[in-house]
Structure 1
Amino acid sequence: MPCATRYDADGGLLERFTDTDKTRDRSVNTGGKYTSPLGKGHLLAAGWDLEASHREQTKVSLDKNGNPQFADSGDNLTADTRRVAVFAQDEWDITPQWAVYMGARWEGIRTSSDRSSGTITNTSKVFSPLLHGVWKIPGHEKDQIRASLTKSYKSPNVQDLIALPFLSRLNSATRPDRTGNPDLKPELATGLDLAYEHYLGRNGILSVSGFIRDIDNLIRRQLSLQQTDLGQRWVSTPGNIGHARTSGIELEAKFQLAELMDNAPNVDFRSNYSRFWSKVDGIQGPDNRLDQQAKQTANIGADWRIKTIPLTLGASYNWTPAIRVQTSTTQLVEISRKRVVDMYGLWKFDARTQLRVSAANLLADDATGENTVDANGLTSHATTLNPTYRQVSIRLETKF
């Protein structure tokens, strides 16, 4: 039960705020797939995906006189999402080099939120064709091209559907109250994916892929100055702000060095690099990107199994550059770069027992953020600093 107090210079009580919050989340999901041959080169595949989420939340916020600070204080509010998806497709091997998956998918999402003023319900559904293709290049049995055309839903989080406010005691443009929105609708995306793949040895692969996504009903938090039960306050509320587009490319390399070179050490190598672009309509650029989407990311890692002793050494490096996003016409958010180095050593005593020594986040870069709001003739700026720490662990693992 958090409690905040404010005093004047002489020690007199100015304000006291008491908050209690009881939240319970429940969810269940199930899915399945059925396949059956339909004839030479044809395979019927049908399936389902069901998901349900439920949140119950009771929040009490009182001032120093015991008065509630918002209308629904003390009420038991609930939010639900229900998602149903069914599909059927024909997996058709046209030739040894050419395969096509054709079918259809129906997906529906129902969201509801109950509060003292009534129940708000939204229902969305989409019927979309499924089209996937794989072409194995003649004369190059280890090379193939993949392509797909899809539609997908992204439902809002149940916590964003409940309109209970989380009050900021030092309310400002950079420290606003946060509330939900029972009128949120799901995001709908139409996407095209294309990939070229070249296989190396038993498990290796070199690939280049790209995608394009067209998004409707994009969900994003919006900042506004509102008249509330506590007076005029800055409030952050999620909403469907319209249309956005995003695209990207990814390069991947994964292979065992011993399969490519004679007398090479037993090293497994893995790496990938991604580059992303996006644009949100209705927000002026140049940084009107999808929220928290980096322009690029890179990963590299290796595992070395030493032949003469039962020891495996490994290391990985992850890099994400600084992120700068114009989240609205008035707000600019920046996140610092991210660099993570992990290392480990694994000694196998026998088939059942092994000792693992690992070190995570060796660089221990601090995570910083910048939040700038330019509204109502004033500019507000806040900087956050979240330190990170190195983690070292030693574990003895055995199987019984």
Structure 2
Amino acid sequence: MKNDAKRTVLAVALALAIGQSRAAPEQAGPDVATSMDEIVVQADITYRDRSDETPPVLVYDLEYFQRFEPLTVGDMLKRVPSVAFVSDVLEYDGAQLRGLQAAYTQVLINGKKVPGAGDDRSFFVDRIPAELVDHIEVVRSASASRSGDAVAGALNIVLREAYAFDGAYLRAGALHFDDGTMKPTYGGLAGGDVGGGRLLAGFNVQGRYNPKQKQSVRFEEPGGDFVDREDQDDIRDGTDYSANLSYHREFGPGELDLSAFLVRTDRRESEHSVEFNDPVSRAIAHRVSVNDQVVDIDQDNYSLAASYRFEGLGGATEISLQRAAFDDSRFDTEEESSFDDEEMPPAFDEREGTRTLTATHDTETTLRVSHQRAIGGRQLAFGIDLQRKDRDTTLLTAEVDTDEEHAPLPPYTEFVHVASDIQERRVDPWITWSGQGRALRWETGLRYERTDADIHSDNEAVANEYRILLPSAHFRWELSDGDRLRLSLARTVRRPDFKQLLPVTLEEEFGDNDFIGNPSLKLENAWGLDLGFEHRLGKRGVVGINLFYRNVRDLIEVVNTGTPSATALDDYEEAVDEFLEEHPGATAATPGYPVFDPDSFVFSAANVGHGRVYGVELDVSTPLTALGLPDTGVFANYSWLDSSVRDAMGARRFNNQPRFVYNVGVIHDIPSVGMSVGASYRKQGDAEQRLLAEEVRTEYGADLEAFVEKRFGDSVSVRLTASNLLNARKDEFFGKFDTLGDQQGRDFDEYELESEQSGPVVQLIARFAF
């Protein structure tokens, strides 16, 4: 009732505010913001920009998102076309462009690659605060001047730069969560002339919190007998600290740019679970286990970059150097007490604990030298990208147990140590040739990516190399003053996951099956086609449609090595021991002696697959001037997504690709009272994932957000934002199997229904420019 009341009050406030509005004459679209008061107090609704680049790029300024007060880049990206997430409720970390897994999407910061947390080389976009961002580019098709790791496309996060801003502002506020917890947020940004150049500096402190309620109900099979139920409290609690610095000035014959950013995350994930052997009761008499898990996470992302651009040598030359790093440290302790429910009430059985310490250090050093010049009315650009990547991972694991009730667990002293190191050296020369006529602009390019990799794990060293040629071509026709057609063709790649490369055996990684990496894996590669049309609506609106297709080759799939798994060997050894106990002195020739017939194996990864990805993307953002509502802006996008691939079970879509994702939003300005109101609604389709020994279907509820903004003069704005007004829910359906044969025969080990839910979040944020 309390949550319903909050939503009702907010809805009434929005309706009253809209009812007080008066139409105002249409104004021209806003210029690029150059002063802090224009950032703090927006004069107009900001719409999606129409990019003038020849390749297909969508551009969204910070002001497009800002009125909904996004906390992170993940919160921003959930509003742009084709971006899906398969994360926990209210977590927007691994962005999936075109719905493909995050590894297929290249995330760039200021046009450059950065290392991330995922074994699949993905970068968690919720680690970058929205306050650092100037604009976001959705790059739908690859160009030769960018790294080719972008099968689904690329997301370029452009941070604020020194030469774009004058003045300073402070931001402060608080977030209120439905369990009563409050979290602060504050920061500031300043820019101006310093030392003959332009300096911008900013900082941001963001409280992070996400309380969730989870429940898992397990059955023997779909529609089968009840097994057990697990109730869980899950809390993600932490703080993000960030800072950015940018300096720009003329230096000698050219221009020098220096930039740096740092994001530090302190986070604790706490889960408390109680398992019952009854579908509804929480009585101690039905309790079968109590589990507590605490994960302390410390993460640091930083980047230092310098670039120098000068005219000469017949054109413009640029030299840039970047050092980027990611450090991730995790201290994970999980302890569980189990009870024997064959007795009533269940009697204590044992207490087990596992402690896992993980440290990952990932660095990338990149040097780029490029040159651009005009030749006969055309533009020639060429360059070379050199990159050195080092990823070191250390894993320490210890397990302890006791069968004495109320006794403490033994200390975690005996750790199993696993260390790995992956080094990659890239040399990527590239060239583009572009030009334009009266109505046609075009760009062709060629990129050659050469990578040498050295993989070290447990005193084993393996080398591999990748060589691939990546052509691209882009065309843009101006059909009229308001109509534009684009066509792009490009070849892209996806590099293997780090875990897939390491020659380390992971026991029971897939049910009873083991997994060992394959350092000899090749790159996945894809030919892609994009065809898009844009139409200008009045002075500020735009509507677009884009069709895309990807043909993916050398797809990496899990394959059977034929080697029996550790579980199969242990089961056979146990069967032999039992037979010898019953038949002392027996030999292999003795009738009934166990025959080794394993049904679980060691699996690996290999380039054996082929897949297709295709879909349609629609988007529109426009003021409703034609309806007499120039102060009302609407935003909408819809993406229909599909794909096909084959695995050992047959045909399926790419894992975790939803069928659709869409967003609808409206913002209404009330100039007479200096107010704005707005709301947005987001929904994505079900996602399915089929792995060896496990199948998962994920369903998400819709997300509704709303805001009310009040402006005071030219320097102060206050926003009240409410998100997750529909108490977003995530439901997952797990089919679990022991072996591939069981999976093919639909012989379930377990079928689980898991749901989680989180309540509304209310923000009150004030900005003051000076």
Which residue is 1:290 aligned to?
654
Kept in 1, the 8 Å contact 2:335–2:351? The answer is no
Q: Looking at both structures, which has the greater relative contact order when contacts are Cα pairs under 8 Å and sequence separation is at least 6? A: 2
Which residue is 1:88 aligned to?
431
- 1:356 paired residue among 710, 719, 724: 719
Q: Which amino acid aligns with 1:98?
A: L
C-alpha distance 195-78 of structure 1, shift in aligned 2 (>3 A): same
- 2:619 paired residue among 236, 248, 252: 252
C-alpha distance 12-323 of structure 1, shift in aligned 2 (>3 A): closer
C-alpha distance 150-123 of structure 1, shift in aligned 2 (>3 A): same
Q: Which amino acid aligns with 1:317?
A: Y
C-alpha distance 129-229 of structure 1, shift in aligned 2 (>3 A): same
Indicate whether 1:79 and 2:431 are aligned: no
- 2:440 paired residue among 98, 103, 117: 98
Quick check: which one's helix share is greater? 2
User: What is the aligned length?
Assistant: 386
Distance 2:755 2:555 in 1: 29
Indicate whether 1:266 and 2:631 are aligned: yes
State the Cα distance separating 1:134 from its structure 2 match. 1.4
State the Cα distance separating 1:98 from its structure 2 match. 1.8
Which residue is 2:755 aligned to?
385
Quick check: which one's strand share is greater? 1
Distance 1:338 1:29 in 2: 41
Which residue is 2:360 aligned to?
23
Q: Provide TM-score, normalisation by structure 2.
A: 0.45
Distance 1:12 1:158 in 2: 39
- 1:124 paired residue among 460, 466, 483: 466
Indicate whether 1:315 and 2:706 are aligned: no
Kept in 1, the 8 Å contact 2:423–2:455? The answer is yes
C-alpha distance 383-239 of structure 1, shift in aligned 2 (>3 A): farther
State the Cα distance separating 1:385 from its structure 2 match. 2.5
Structure 2 unaligned regions, length at least 5: 1-330, 341-346, 402-411, 572-599
Kept in 1, the 8 Å contact 2:475–2:487? The answer is yes
Q: Provide TM-score, normalisation by structure 1.
A: 0.82
State the Cα distance separating 1:248 from its structure 2 match. 0.9
Distance 1:179 1:398 in 2: 56
C-alpha distance 29-239 of structure 1, shift in aligned 2 (>3 A): farther
Which residue is 1:226 aligned to?
565
Which residue is 1:145 aligned to?
485
- The more displaced of 153-162 and 230-239 is 230-239
Distance 2:370 2:483 in 1: 28
- The more displaced of 298-307 and 182-191 is 182-191
Which residue is 1:279 aligned to?
644
State the Cα distance separating 1:205 from its structure 2 match. 1.6
Q: Please list the CA deviations of residues 123-158 of structure 1 after superposition, one character each: whole Å capped at 9, or x if unmatched.
A: 212113221111222xx3221211111011222344
Distance 2:520 2:704 in 1: 42
Q: Which amino acid aligns with 1:217?
A: D
Distance 1:33 1:256 in 2: 41
Q: Counterpart of 1:281 in 2: which secondary structure?
A: strand
- The more displaced of 219-228 and 382-391 is 219-228
Indicate whether 1:133 and 2:475 are aligned: yes
Which residue is 1:300 aligned to?
664
Distance 1:51 1:342 in 2: 42
Larger Rg: 2
State the Cα distance separating 1:68 from its structure 2 match. 6.8
Distance 1:215 1:297 in 2: 22
C-alpha distance 172-250 of structure 1, shift in aligned 2 (>3 A): closer
Q: Which amino acid aligns with 1:371?
A: F
Q: Please list the CA deviations of residues 366-387 of structure 1 after superposition, one character each: whole Å capped at 9, or x if unmatched.
A: 2121121454443132333232
Structure 1 unaligned regions, length at least 5: none
Indicate whether 1:58 and 2:420 are aligned: no
C-alpha distance 177-360 of structure 1, shift in aligned 2 (>3 A): farther
Distance 1:304 1:231 in 2: 67
Distance 2:569 2:352 in 1: 13
C-alpha distance 271-11 of structure 1, shift in aligned 2 (>3 A): closer
State the Cα distance separating 1:321 from its structure 2 match. 1.5
Q: Which amino acid aligns with 1:90?
A: W
Kept in 2, the 8 Å contact 1:85–1:108? The answer is yes
- 2:529 paired residue among 192, 198, 204: 192
- The more displaced of 364-373 and 245-254 is 364-373
Distance 1:389 1:221 in 2: 39
C-alpha distance 28-222 of structure 1, shift in aligned 2 (>3 A): farther
How big is the alpha-carbon RMSD for the aligned residues of Structure 1 and Structure 2? 3.6
Among all aligned residue pairs of Structure 1 and Structure 2, give the percentage whose two residues are the same amino acid: 22
Q: Counterpart of 1:74 in 2: which secondary structure?
A: strand
